[in-house]
C-alpha cells in the first residue's frame, strides 16, 4: 500500500489494561527516504515475506537475510521513483479501468469476480489490498511505456535487415531462457573501483563454476533488473534480447556460464538456463477495426464509456455504420480516416487488453467498451488467418522483435537515470529504534 507522502514519524501503539498503560510500542517506521516520499519498514518486510514464500514454493534457496533486504529495498526504491513520476505527469488509473482489469483477470482464470474475491481472501489478502496492488502494477507498466517507448526508434532499414538475415539463416528460431548477474560499477569509475568490481565478478564466477545456486547468487549479488527473480529472464528469441546477450549466446549450450562481460554498467555473467524451439511454427493474424475515445479534462472516463455504449447500440441495431462512426468520432488518427480499419496483424502487436479482447471475440462480433492505456475502445473482429511462421517472416514480426530488444535496453537505462538523479537515504533498523 502506498504511504502518505506526509507521513514522517512512525505510528505508536499503546496496550491498555484496567490498571496501567504500557510503554509505547513501535509499529512501523520510515526506512528509506526517496526524494519527497518514503518507504516504510512494513513494506520492506512484506516484500521479503513474499519473496521467501515464493522461494519455498519453488524449492529455491535464498541468500542471507541482509543480502535479500538490500535487494528488496532497491526494488522498492525503483518502484517509488516510478510512482512519483506517474504522479508528476498526472497518470492515474481510475476505478473504471481497474474494474475492467480485474474482470479480465477473472475471465482468464475462468472464474467470476466474486469467486476471485473469495480466492484472494483465502490467501490472506483483502480485496481492497489486491485492488491497490493491481492499480500500482498497472501504473508501473503505463509509466514505463510512456517514458521508454518515446525513446525508441525502429527504422525501416533495421526491419529489412532483420528480415533478410533471418531468411538467410533459414529462420531457425530458438528461444533462450537466460540467467543474468550484473556486478555494477559507478558512473565514471576509478581504476580501483573497476578492479574491485572485476574481482567480485571473478569471485561470483568461481562460485557458480563450483556448483553454487545461480538464483541465490543473483539475489545476493546482482544489480540487474531481474535480481529478485533470481536473475532469470523470460524466454527470448535472439533477435529480441538485449544486444549484450545476443552477441554471446548464439553458439552457447544449455547450462553454459558466460562471462564476465564488461559493459558501461559493469560486469555481466550469463547462464543459459534453457533452450527451446519456438512453441509454435504457425501464427494467427487478425483483421479488425476499432473506435477510440481518449478521456481528458473535457471528456470524462464515464462519458467516454457511455458514448461508446451508445455507438455499439446504434451499430448493432443498424442505425449507424461502424465505419461512419469511426470516421466521425474515433481519436486514432491512423485508423479513423479508414473507418477504424487496423489491417492484418498478430494480436500480440497490440497492448495486452486489446489483444485479449480480440481473442475473446467471434468473427464479426463487436466488443463492449473496454479500457486500455490509449483510452476507451470498441473493436470488431473481421477476419482471422493462419500464417506459417517458418516460411514467412514479415515486417510486423521483425518490428516487434526489434522493439522488444530496444525496450528492454532502454528501460534499464531509464531506471538507472532516475535512480542516479534521485535523493535517497536508507536508515538501517538500529538507527530508528528507541
Task: Please check the confidence at residue 78 and state whether its pLDDT lies above 90.
Answer: yes
366 beta partners: 380
Task: Please check the confidence at residue 295 and state whether its pLDDT lies above 60.
Answer: yes
Work out the pLDDT band at 136, boundaries 50, 70, 90: very high
376 beta partners: 293, 371
Lowest mean pLDDT among 7-21, 174-188, 419-433: 7-21
Selecting from 1.20.1250.20, 3.40.50.11540, 3.10.50.40, 3.30.70.20, what CATH number does the domain 282-388 have? Answer: 3.10.50.40
Cis peptide before 260 (omega within 30 of 0): yes
Task: Please check the confidence at residue 35 and state whether its pLDDT lies above 70.
Answer: yes
**Percent of the chain at pLDDT exceeding 70:** 89
Mean of pLDDT over the chain: 86
Task: Please check the confidence at residue 9 and state whether its pLDDT lies above 60.
Answer: no
Task: Please check the confidence at residue 290 and state whether its pLDDT lies above 60.
Answer: yes
Lowest mean pLDDT among 313-327, 329-343, 395-409: 395-409
- Second CATH level (architecture) for the domain 173-279: Roll (3.10)
Task: Please check the confidence at residue 16 and state whether its pLDDT lies above 70.
Answer: no
Which residue ranges make up each domain of the chain? 173-279, 282-388
Q: What pTM was estimated for this model as a whole?
A: 0.72
The predicted pLDDT at position 20 comes to 35
386 beta partners: 284
Q: pLDDT tens-digit profile of 405-432?
A: 899 889 989 999 999 999 999 987 764 4
Task: Please check the confidence at residue 399 and state whether its pLDDT lies above 90.
Answer: no
Contact status, residue 82 vs residue 235, Cβ threshold 8 Å: no
Contacts of range 182-187, beta carbons closer than 8 Å, 24 or more positions apart: 182/222, 182/223, 182/224, 182/227, 182/265, 182/266, 182/267, 182/268, 183/221, 183/222, 183/223, 183/260, 183/266, 183/267, 183/268, 183/269, 184/223, 184/265, 184/266, 185/265, 185/266, 185/267, 187/420
Give the three-class secondary structure for 176: strand
When pLDDT is averaged across residues 168-186 and rounded to a whole number, the result is 82
Task: Give the number of C-alpha atoms closer than 13 A to the C-alpha of residue 337, restricted to the C-beta side.
Answer: 2
Lowest mean pLDDT among 293-297, 300-304, 386-390: 386-390
Q: Same CATH fold, 282-388 and 173-279?
A: yes
| Strand-strand pairing, 12-13 and 370-372 | unpaired
The predicted pLDDT at position 77 comes to 96
Query: In the block, which residue shows the cell 541468500?
Result: 63
Q: Which residues contact 238 (CB under 8 A, 6 or more apart)?
A: 174, 176, 246, 249, 250
Task: Please check the confidence at residue 192 and state whether its pLDDT lies above 50.
Answer: yes
- The grid cell for 373 is 492505456
The predicted pLDDT at position 394 comes to 66
Amino acid at each position: 500500500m502506498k504511504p502518505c507522502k506526509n507521513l514522517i514519524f512512525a505510528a505508536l501503539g499503546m496496550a491498555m489494561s484496567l490498571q496501567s498503560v504500557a510503554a509505547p510500542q513501535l509499529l512501523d517506521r520510515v526506512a528509506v527516504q526517496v526524494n519527497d516520499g518514503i518507504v516504510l519498514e512494513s513494506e520492506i518486510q512484506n516484500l521479503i515475506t513474499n519473496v521467501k514464500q515464493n522461494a519455498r514454493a519453488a524449492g529455491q534457496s535464498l541468500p542471507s537475510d541482509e543480502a535479500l533486504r538490500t535487494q528488496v529495498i532497491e526494488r522498492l526504491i525503483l518502484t517509488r521513483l516510478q510512482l512519483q513520476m506517474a504522479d508528476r505527469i498526472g497518470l492515474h488509473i481510475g476505478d473504471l479501468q481497474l474494474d475492467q482489469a480485474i474482470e479480465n483477470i477473472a475471465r482468464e482464470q475462468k472464474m467470476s469476480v466474486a469467486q476471485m474475491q473469495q480466492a484472494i481472501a483465502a490467501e490472506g489478502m483483502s480485496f481492497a489490498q489486491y485492488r491497490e496492488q493491481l492499480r500500482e502494477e498497472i501504473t508501473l507498466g503505463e509509466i514505463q511505456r510512456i517514458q521508454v517507448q518515446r525513446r525508441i526508434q525502429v527504422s525501416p532499414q533495421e526491419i529489412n535487415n532483420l528480415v533478410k538475415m533471418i531468411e538467410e539463416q533459414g529462420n531457425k528460431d530458438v528461444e533462450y531462457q537466460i540467467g543474468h548477474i550484473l556486478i555494477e560499477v559507478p558512473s565514471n569509475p576509478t581504476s580501483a573501483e573497476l578492479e574491485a568490481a572485476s574481482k567480485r565478478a571473478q569471485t561470483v564466477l568461481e562460485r557458480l563454476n563450483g556448483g553454487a545456486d545461480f538464483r541465490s547468487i543473483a539475489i545476493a549479488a546482482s544489480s540487474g533488473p531481474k535480481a529478485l527473480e533470481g536473475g532469470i529472464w523470460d524466454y527470448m528469441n535472439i533477435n529480441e534480447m538485449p544486444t549484450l546477450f545476443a552477441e554471446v549466446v548464439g553458439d552457447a549450450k544449455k547450462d553454459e556460464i558466460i562471462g564476465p562481460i564488461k559493459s558501461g554498467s559493469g560486469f555481466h555473467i550469463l547462464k543459459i538456463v534453457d533452450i527451446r524451439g519456438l512453441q509454435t511454427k504457425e501464427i494467427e493474424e487478425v483483421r479488425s477495426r476499432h473506435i477510440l475515445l481518449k478521456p481528458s479534462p473535457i471528456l470524462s472516463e464515464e462519458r467516454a464509456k457511455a458514448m461508446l455504449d451508445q455507438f455499439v447500440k446504434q451499430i448493432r441495431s443498424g442505425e449507424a455504420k461502424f465505419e461512419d462512426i469511426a470516421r466521425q468520432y474515433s481519436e486514432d488518427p491512423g485508423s479513423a480516416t479508414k473507418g477504424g480499419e487496423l489491417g492484418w496483424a498478430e494480436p500480440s502487436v497490440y497492448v495486452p487488453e486489446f489483444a485479449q479482447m480480440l481473442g475473446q471475440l467471434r468473427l464479426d462480433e463487436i466488443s463492449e467498451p473496454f479500457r486500455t492505456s490509449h483510452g476507451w475502445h470498441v473493436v470488431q473482429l473481421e477476419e482471422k488467418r493462419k500464417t506459417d511462421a517458418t516460411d514467412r517472416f514479415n515486417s510486423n514480426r521483425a518490428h516487434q522483435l526489434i522493439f522488444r530488444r530496444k525496450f528492454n535496453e532502454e528501460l534499464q537505462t531509464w531506471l538507472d537515470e532516475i535512480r542516479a538523479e534521485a535523493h535517497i537515504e536508507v536508515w538501517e533498523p538500529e538507527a530508528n529504534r528507541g
